[in-house]
Amino acid sequence: MKKQSEIRRLGVFLNRLRATFYYPDSGTDALTRVPSGMDGRVRYAGETTDQILVGNNRSTNNEHHKHNREADQLKAYLKQLTAQIEPYQVVVVMGPRILLHQLENFMKEHGKHNCMRLDFLEHDKMTDNEFRAAVRKHFTEEQQGS
């Protein structure tokens, strides 16, 4: 049986703009934030789409490149998250459903999920205090269930 001090646990709340890490075993309530590097959605007054109407299709080469850039930024973000999550044995990841599935699929694709236990919990928005409480609650329920 492993001692409690040997188990390395991590709580992660992520969205498209940043990831927030909480280390419940550290003894402090400090949160670490890591920016994603992804471009947020900027809206300008009087903004229209960046597409043009050609026949019945609404598409441009600019839009195609924009989607490719977004996919590349997402892949780099997921790679960065995976590298930071990898040293931990038990990880609870919270965030929007789509991003959780993308992270899970990325980790399966790259074989990074085999050596740890990952729990994915869907939450769209959380304050810092709600996030800390949810991580603590998850790990205490886990201990009581063992």
Per-block mean pLDDT, blocks of 10 residues, the chain (146 long)? 61 92 86 84 62 59 76 92 90 94 91 80 91 92 76
Within a domain: 101: yes
Those residues with Cβ within 8 angstroms of residue 103's Cβ, 6 or more apart along the chain or in another chain: 14, 78, 81, 82, 93, 120
Within a domain: 3: no
Domain with 60, as residue range(s), is 9-36+52-145
Within a domain: 65: yes
Within a domain: 1: no
Within a domain: 126: yes
Within a domain: 138: yes
In this structure, which long-range contacts are made by residues 78-81, counting pairs with CB atoms below 8 Å and at least 24 apart in sequence? Answer: 78/102, 78/103, 78/106, 79/106, 80/34, 80/36, 80/37, 81/12, 81/14, 81/19, 81/34
Within a domain: 94: yes
- Quick one: pLDDT at residue 67? 81
- Kindly report the CATH number assigned to the domain that includes residue 124: 3.30.420.60
- Helix 61-85 to helix 97-109 angle (10° resolution) is 70
Start-to-end Cα distance in the chain: 11
* Separation between Cα atoms, residue 7 and residue 143, nearest integer Å: 12
- Quick one: pLDDT at residue 45? 66
Write phi, then psi, for 123 (nearest 5 degrees).
-145, 125
Number of domains in the chain: 1
* Separation between Cα atoms, residue 127 and residue 142, nearest integer Å: 22
